[in-house]
Structure 1
Amino acid sequence: MTTASVTGIFSERSIRRARLGSGLVIFIFVLLHLSNHALGLISLAAADKARYLFLAIWRNPLGTTVFYASVLIHMGLVLRAIYMRRSLVMPKGETAQLVLGLLIPLLLIDHVIGTRIAHELYGYIDDYETVVEQLWIKNPANGARQVLGVLAVWFHGCIGIHFWLRYRPWYAGSAPLLLALAILVPVLSVLGFVQMGRTLADPSYQLATNPYEVNLNAHYLHDPEVRARIAAVRAGLYGAFSASLLLVVVARARRRLKERLDQVAVHYPGGEVIRVPRGFTVLEASRLGGLPHYSVCGGKGQCSTCRVQILGDYESLPAPDKMEQTTLKRINAGPDVRLACQLRPDRDVAVAPLLVPAVETALPANSQETSPGREREIAVLFVDIRHFTTLTETRLPFDVVFLLNRYFAIIGKAVEQAGGRLDKFIGDGAMALFGLNTAPEEACRQALKAAAAIVTEIEKLADELADELVLPLRIAIGIHTGPAVIGTMGYGRVRSVTAIGDTVNVASRLESAAKEFEAAIVISEPVAARSGADLAGIESHEISVRGRALPLKVYVIPREKAGEPLEGKA
């Protein structure tokens, strides 16, 4: 059943976008503010001059409305998320982000009152000279508190940015640079603050101020009525935040007390039975019970790694909402397969997780390390030697090892030079991945380039060993592109990054098809389309692939043309 809450303006997806958007506005504000502080390393005057540009952006009706609306929206949605979360058991990164987020108002409310609010209400001049003097010379304890606030808000934002971007194709390559910036910005900001404080504390520094400015600030600092009003504002802000947080805690406690009387049991294949309040998701049940359960996207319904099979009557369970339906449809899931992070059973249910974490890792149930990987659009290349048994049956074992090593060296060099990753060797075959750090179109071009290089070099090796082999040395290559799950798999020390999924299976089938067609390379139509390859004069066929309802169009490249570069001719 799809409800308005799922599809309308207040759907979970819309709420997540509002939280992300408001967080980005705050992050941009903080980035500019800290960058302004860093200019204090040059001089106090330089920081004050840049401050005028900062104020021009944020202290106008539009900037003020956008920023403070973002603050209120973000804080409200964070408190909502705390209430909606059925379990506070979560990965360490999420815990750190949540704790830092709750500390930020406690650390920064006084700073906001002493600058923006005092300026708006009483014309207080909150330039760097005034503020740094207050925090460095007159009240260094508040200065230390301000530094902690800067670090809290910055790292809270950085964790959020990381969670947002971590599965983007380009993020892995950009992560070192972004990490360097994440470290440099707060460090330079704090150093700028320290340098300005040391400048003001130097007896030789002569503070040139307008007497009118001094009188205004003195009125703010010493007028009992003004100080009483500021104290009332401070109490109001602290009280509002504390009351909001207390309200969430009380609401959670009330809900938990009520739910204890209305629970459902989730049964697992290992015999575990976890009882949770009605309304909990199956993923939350796994986490409460300490059972490892994959969830790459963090329980947002944007991946399928938490999927479970319903053992028993699945039709009487609540129907999947639109978001869950989209994900399940994408993986062609059966009617008895559901996403654990979205399924909220209203009765006792038996489930079997379809992606089971390896037990030998002994990882905490909710750590990020239990993730099997991430889904990406890649190109997969399979290569195999034809008639390998016949070629080697009369040769000595050491001669076979020599031949295979020469063959593997050719493949490895061609794949790496093209920009791919050699995944594994399987007997006399090999599997290579392209697109781990590039776009799918570039991945397909790289795979075609590697295939042409492999064919060319194998031809040279065949000529070199022609007198020693009973049959000509020939290879078969299959290339396909599509989504696959990339992750670290294996057991114990034998673990490596690899890919699994339908795309890998189809690529393996195309390598077999190359043998059937007596061709050097067989590529799928998606590879041809994405690479922009010039396939004029290349024969095409439609072949059936096990597990696929419709035939797949492929292009069959004979040995005579396989060594010619095809990528990017279209």
Structure 2
Amino acid sequence: MTTASVTGFFSERSIRRARLGSGLVIFIFVLMHLSNHAIGLISVSAADKAARVFMAIWRNPLGTAIFYSSVLVHIALVLRAIYVRRSLVMPKGEMAQIVLGLMIPLLLMDHVIGTRIAHELYGYVDDYETVVSTLWIRAPANGLRQGLGVIAVWIHGCIGLHFWLRYRPWYPDFAPLLLALAILVPVLSLLGFVEMGRTLADPSYQQAVANSPYKATVNSHFASNPEVRREVAEIRALLYGAFSLSLLTVVVARARRKLKERLDQVAVHYPGGEVIRVPRGFSVLEASRLGGLPHYSVCGGKGQCSTCRVQILGDYEGLPTPDKMERTTLRRINAGADVRLACQLRPDRDLAVAPLLVPAVEAALPANSQETSPGREREIAVLFVDIRHFTTLTETRLPFDVVFLLNRYFAIIGKAVEQAGGRLDKFIGDGAMALFGLNTAPEQACRQALTAAAAIVAEIEKLAAELAEELALPLRIAIGIHTGPAVVGTMGYGRVRSMTAIGDTVNVASRLESAAKEFEAAIVISEPVANLSGADLSGIESREINVRGRALPLKVYVIPREKAAAPHEGKD
């Protein structure tokens, strides 16, 4: 039976999507609002004209309903997330987002009351002339508070967007541009506010504002009428009270739960001898964080990765059964029956665990942190290339001559791979591995790999002719290309880290490179590469080979040296 946390309208996944959707609506509103402020660098009247478009979108019944319902939903779900979180020990980014999120209502509530609510209830004219004059001239302390609110809401939104987008394959390429925009938008907004304030502080402009009888009459009535001031004070007290009461309710509920849980705890034992006692209902990951033990959790404890997995030492059959999400993740990595996800396992008795991915001796990964470039499964094409009979070719050559040959050879491979749009992964002795499709579709990746392979064969032919008299054997290479899913991420130790790929796809590509040597061919590609690339392989021999770890033979195409130097164009 699937647990309620996985399926249904109020499932954890649905709740996360609601929080994300409401946050995106608020972020779009804030982005448009701050951009409108930035137009104040041109003039106050230009900002007011732009504000008409902004209000036409957000001050109609539909826009109002969407925005304010998003605000209420977002606040409610944030408070729920604070309550549900068993431990407040968390990465700094998550802590900053929560703290800023709680500050935003306190910083901006007066602004909402003095603009939108006053406009709707009392006809208050809340244009830029009025609002900026109030914040810049009559109440500069409120203006400073408003500026802090702008910074808080913008940083909060940007952190949320970063958490949402950080594992998208295209995000690293656009991150510098997005960072520049994240800095420019609030800076230009605040500069626009300052420029409008300086303009409105000019006596001649103040006189022009005073000559607007309707606005002066309405706003003067709002500011001086005791009854209106009393009603506004009641609204302010109601809103601040509601928010404070909601926050206090969460704090009291957490305290009550913590007091109750102190009487009902379980002990989690770790291989290093550490014993962490946590209330029943805490996850193993929360126990690790509470105890300050390093523990990988790339997805942030949502059960969407397997990096937090642990092995249960002892009886594992009596533990709570995994829900559908955890079962799916464990099945995907072919985990044993004694392996569980630390973020999902909430033990109801004492147990001993051994984290399977532990940064044991690396001080670079402190407790409660997350890898900056974790593994992510992608559909890629992998190319392996190696020199045939390398030992025989170099056994009579001087070491420096061998280095010269290898550097010429590596330069050919690197140039061909980069020009085709791939990424040179690593050199392994006289071999090399290249990845294609990190930022493109699998079809394009396969075509790029074939283009690179053809260029490598053509350039190696030229190098072989150049060194023909110096080498005991002709210079020949073997290339294998395969496509499929692989885990791509930053791997290594200490400073020796780099982006690479692992998985069955990589192993098969390496096996195809060996097959090319066995068949005395230049290139061997798998059937999936041929199909996805749409390459013209008429007249090319096909074979079926056995690949270690695979139950069924794999169909491959064997491309001889004579036909390998020209790329096999794919179909559009």
TM-score (norm 2): 0.95
Alignment of 1:131-170 (within 5 A): 131-170=131-170
Partner of 1:66: 66
Q: Which amino acid aligns with 1:15?
A: I
Kept after mapping to 2: 8 A contact 1:309/1:336: yes
Instruction: Report deviation, 1:247.
Output: 0.9
Kept after mapping to 2: 8 A contact 1:293/1:370: no
Partner of 1:379: 381
Alignment of 1:113-512 (within 5 A): 113-205=113-205, 206-207=208-209, 210-357=212-359, 359-369=361-371, 372-512=374-514
Rounded Cα–Cα distance in structure 2 between residues aligned with 1:209 and 1:328: 72
Aligned mate of 1:556, from 555, 558, 564:
558
Partner of 1:546: 548
Rounded Cα–Cα distance in structure 1 between residues aligned with 2:534 and 2:262: 60
Which moves more between the two structures, 369-378 or 34-43? Answer: 369-378
Rounded Cα–Cα distance in structure 1 between residues aligned with 2:536 and 2:84: 54
Structure 1 residues 99 and 480, CA gap change in structure 2 (3 angstroms): same
Rounded Cα–Cα distance in structure 2 between residues aligned with 1:548 and 1:6: 33
Which moves more between the two structures, 490-499 or 185-194? Answer: 490-499
Aligned mate of 2:536, from 531, 534, 537:
534
**Number of residues paired by the alignment?**
570
Q: Which amino acid aligns with 1:107?
A: L
Structure 2 residue runs without a partner (length 5+): none
Q: Which amino acid aligns with 2:565?
A: G
Which deviations, in whole Å up to 9, do the C-alpha atoms of 1:362-416 show, x marking residues without a partner? 4321123476444333222111111222222233333322222221121111112
Partner of 1:40: 40
Structure 1 residues 314 and 493, CA gap change in structure 2 (3 angstroms): same
Q: Does 1:51 align with 2:66?
A: no
Alignment of 1:95-110 (within 5 A): 95-110=95-110
Structure 1 residues 361 and 526, CA gap change in structure 2 (3 angstroms): farther
Partner of 2:89: 89
Partner of 1:19: 19
Kept after mapping to 2: 8 A contact 1:357/1:370: no
**SS of structure 2 residue aligned to 1:356:** coil
Structure 1 residues 167 and 132, CA gap change in structure 2 (3 angstroms): same
Instruction: Report deviation, 1:481.
Output: 2.5
Which moves more between the two structures, 357-366 or 83-92? Answer: 357-366
Rounded Cα–Cα distance in structure 1 between residues aligned with 2:467 and 2:39: 68
Instruction: Report deviation, 1:289.
Output: 1.8
Kept after mapping to 2: 8 A contact 1:294/1:372: no
TM-score (norm 1): 0.95
Q: Which amino acid aligns with 1:554?
A: V
Structure 1 residues 340 and 502, CA gap change in structure 2 (3 angstroms): farther
Which moves more between the two structures, 368-377 or 229-238? Answer: 368-377
Kept after mapping to 2: 8 A contact 1:169/1:439: no
Rounded Cα–Cα distance in structure 1 between residues aligned with 2:193 and 2:551: 65
Structure 1 residues 562 and 349, CA gap change in structure 2 (3 angstroms): farther
Q: Which amino acid aligns with 1:94?
A: E
Structure 1 residues 336 and 176, CA gap change in structure 2 (3 angstroms): same
Q: Which amino acid aligns with 2:131?
A: V
Which deviations, in whole Å up to 9, do the C-alpha atoms of 1:430-489 show, x marking residues without a partner? 112223333333322222211111111111222222233232222111222233333333
Instruction: Report deviation, 1:250.
Output: 1.1
Rounded Cα–Cα distance in structure 2 between residues aligned with 1:421 and 1:365: 32
Which deviations, in whole Å up to 9, do the C-alpha atoms of 1:256-309 show, x marking residues without a partner? 122222222223333333222221122112211222111222112222222223
Rounded Cα–Cα distance in structure 1 between residues aligned with 2:266 and 2:555: 49
Alignment RMSD: 1.9
Structure 1 residue runs without a partner (length 5+): none
Which deviations, in whole Å up to 9, do the C-alpha atoms of 1:104-124 show, x marking residues without a partner? 000000000001111111111
Which moves more between the two structures, 237-246 or 317-326? Answer: 317-326
Rounded Cα–Cα distance in structure 1 between residues aligned with 2:535 and 2:108: 58
Rounded Cα–Cα distance in structure 2 between residues aligned with 1:335 and 1:161: 36
Rounded Cα–Cα distance in structure 2 between residues aligned with 1:148 and 1:311: 51
Q: Which amino acid aligns with 2:32?
A: L
Structure 1 residues 171 and 372, CA gap change in structure 2 (3 angstroms): closer
Kept after mapping to 1: 8 A contact 2:364/2:494: no
Instruction: Report deviation, 1:238.
Output: 0.8
Which moves more between the two structures, 317-326 or 164-173? Answer: 317-326
Kept after mapping to 2: 8 A contact 1:294/1:370: no
Q: Which amino acid aligns with 1:500?
A: I
Rounded Cα–Cα distance in structure 1 between residues aligned with 2:483 and 2:27: 37
**SS of structure 1 residue aligned to 2:314:** coil
Structure 1 residues 525 and 329, CA gap change in structure 2 (3 angstroms): farther
Which moves more between the two structures, 414-423 or 307-316? Answer: 307-316
Instruction: Report deviation, 1:88.
Output: 1.1
Rounded Cα–Cα distance in structure 2 between residues aligned with 1:147 and 1:366: 32
**SS of structure 2 residue aligned to 1:365:** coil
Instruction: Report deviation, 1:157.
Output: 0.5
**SS of structure 2 residue aligned to 1:359:** coil
**SS of structure 1 residue aligned to 2:377:** strand
Structure 1 residues 157 and 247, CA gap change in structure 2 (3 angstroms): same
**SS of structure 1 residue aligned to 2:328:** helix
**SS of structure 2 residue aligned to 1:569:** coil
Q: Which amino acid aligns with 1:179?
A: L
Rounded Cα–Cα distance in structure 2 between residues aligned with 1:540 and 1:340: 47
Structure 1 residues 331 and 540, CA gap change in structure 2 (3 angstroms): farther
Q: Which amino acid aligns with 1:264?
A: V
**SS of structure 1 residue aligned to 2:115:** helix
Q: Which amino acid aligns with 1:99?
A: V
Rounded Cα–Cα distance in structure 2 between residues aligned with 1:463 and 1:85: 67
Which moves more between the two structures, 165-174 or 468-477? Answer: 468-477
Instruction: Report deviation, 1:48.
Output: 0.7
Which deviations, in whole Å up to 9, do the C-alpha atoms of 1:4-23 show, x marking residues without a partner? 34210111111110000000
Structure 1 residues 550 and 5, CA gap change in structure 2 (3 angstroms): same
Structure 1 residues 448 and 386, CA gap change in structure 2 (3 angstroms): same
Which moves more between the two structures, 8-17 or 306-315? Answer: 306-315
Rounded Cα–Cα distance in structure 2 between residues aligned with 1:549 and 1:140: 75
